[in-house]
Chains A and B, each alone.
Chain A
Amino acid sequence: MFQKRVVVCLDVRDGKTTKGIKFKGNVDIGDPVLMAEEYYKQGVDELVFYDITASSDKRGIMIDVVKEVAKRIFIPFTVGGGINSLEDIRAVIDAGAEKVSLNSGAVRNPNIIKEGAEVFGNQCIVLAMDAKADDTCPSGYRIVTSGGRNETQWDALEWAKEGVRLGAGEIVLNSIDADGMKTGYEMNLTKMISEAVSVPVVASGGAGVPKHLADVLTEGKADAALIASMVHYGDYTVSSIKNELKELGVSVRIV
């Protein structure tokens, strides 16, 4: 039976995760490799590492993290943040990541999606988009960058279609309005985009309780749900979330 995915996102700055963590046991707080290993043991289906390192001279640290993760974790993982060129893509793929996540780099230069897909295959190219409610856009949502500080000219629905046309094999759809609110994913947005594109959509932003994941994976038509703080702060484990999803009738992988 085909299963819905639970994806955990780790924000990494200069080789350390930026959110604290309250794992039971002796996991080093802030070490992305050990955190990834713990989530792997809990049965996470996929991981995303988002590099928010400010200075480019420290970027190599992230590559070391990716290499170490690849040695220990045998599920797919994606690397995003600061990926603007084919060379950036090649570096993380060669280090062992399955996919790269393109965001503002793709807004600045949409051709990177096409070039990346041609060289590495569509399955490798994830288009991450930050959408914000905006009545002046035909779909009701606008693409923004820099955490919502920059407005772009793109309507969210048009950008999703354009990204897929250019070769994106998957979309991570983040709602700026719902992000951090813990009141649930942006259902209208997720359903609209998921129904409009041929590729899988990963819902992001707003998860507070397992029911939120269940809702977006069924009613919201998402193929996967991305979480961060729900597990980073120890309120839930990946396995507790998945067990609840199963009870709510969502087909998930239980390990």
Chain B
Amino acid sequence: MKIGIVDYNAGNLTSVVSALSFIGSDYVVSSEHSVLMGCDKLIFPGVGEANWAMEQLRVRDLERSLREFKKSGKPILGICLGSQIILDHSQESDTNCLGLVPGEAKHFPKDMGLKIPHIGWNTVEHNGKGIFRGIPKEASFYFVHSYYVEPKDKKNVIGKTTYGIEFCSSVEYENITAFQFHPEKSGEVGLQLLRNFVEA
């Protein structure tokens, strides 16, 4: 089982790499189409700005890799920014995104009376099945974001979190799973989520 980590110069890959090493997973970090296509599963991480990230993907021809991997039916895990730019569009810099999952990334309402970005630990309402198997209901995960995912179809929402508003913090669509939070920075429960993805 080889996990491909998509390297597009966005965000902190080190932490995803460390977490996969720690759980004993076989992985490769690459921006090469052929290398990524040869993997069994992909992790698409990301920290940064949507428009900039899309540009980084384009100059490396990684848009094609992600589309083809999606079409192949093999599992993809999006994390943070990676969960947003798989959608059709992001309000961040009015960016047209990959369109792998129908939906849009929206900015938190500015009048919630809360600090933005949403930084820190928060709980995720989930059903304890699939990717969330073995994860306690009360478990907390680490979030750092100002935009959130809104899939077109509510049935793609597999995790909900409240920060001023209730938003989708985990999405599942065909062979794609994506988390708004950082499983690689969410302690033991986060590592368990990564194991669930790798070992499924």
Q: Which residues of A contact B (CB under 8 A)?
A: 1-5, 40, 43, 45, 70-72, 74-76, 93-96, 98, 121-124, 169-170, 198-200, 223-224, 253, 255
Contact = CB atoms under 8 A, between A and B. Distances in A.
For the complex of A and B, 8 pairs with smallest distance between CB atoms:
A253-B140, A96-B14, A3-B121, A253-B121, A123-B144, A2-B122, A200-B115, A70-B18
Given A93-B12, A123-B144, A223-B115, A74 B184 contact: yes
A45 B121 contact: yes
B194 to A, nearest CB: 9
Contacts of A45: 120-121
B120 A2 contact: yes
A71 B140 contact: no
Interface string B153-173: 000000000110000000000
A3 B18 contact: no
Contacts of B182: 76
A198 B115 contact: yes
B21 interface: yes
Contacts of B186: 74-75
Interface in B110-124: 115-123
A4 B122 CA distance: 9
Interface of B: 11-12, 14-15, 18-19, 21-22, 47-49, 115-123, 140, 142, 144, 162-163, 182, 184-188, 190-191
A224 B120 contact: yes
Given A71-B22, A74-B190, A98 B140 contact: no
Given A3-B140, A71-B18, A98 B119 contact: no
B187 A5 contact: no
A170 B116 CA distance: 10
Question: Taking each of B22, B48, B117, B122, which has the highest tally of chain A beta carbons within 10 Å of its own beta carbon?
Answer: B117
Contact of A170 (B15, B119, B187): B119
Contacts of B21: 71
A45 B48 CA distance: 22
A72 B185 CA distance: 11
A223 B119 contact: yes
A123 B22 contact: no
Contact of B120 (A43, A98, A122, A223): A223
A94 B12 CA distance: 8
Given A74-B185, A121-B48, A98 B12 contact: yes
Given A123-B47, A123-B144, A255-B188, A5 B120 contact: yes
A1 B22 contact: no
A90 to B, nearest CB: 12
A74 B190 CA distance: 8
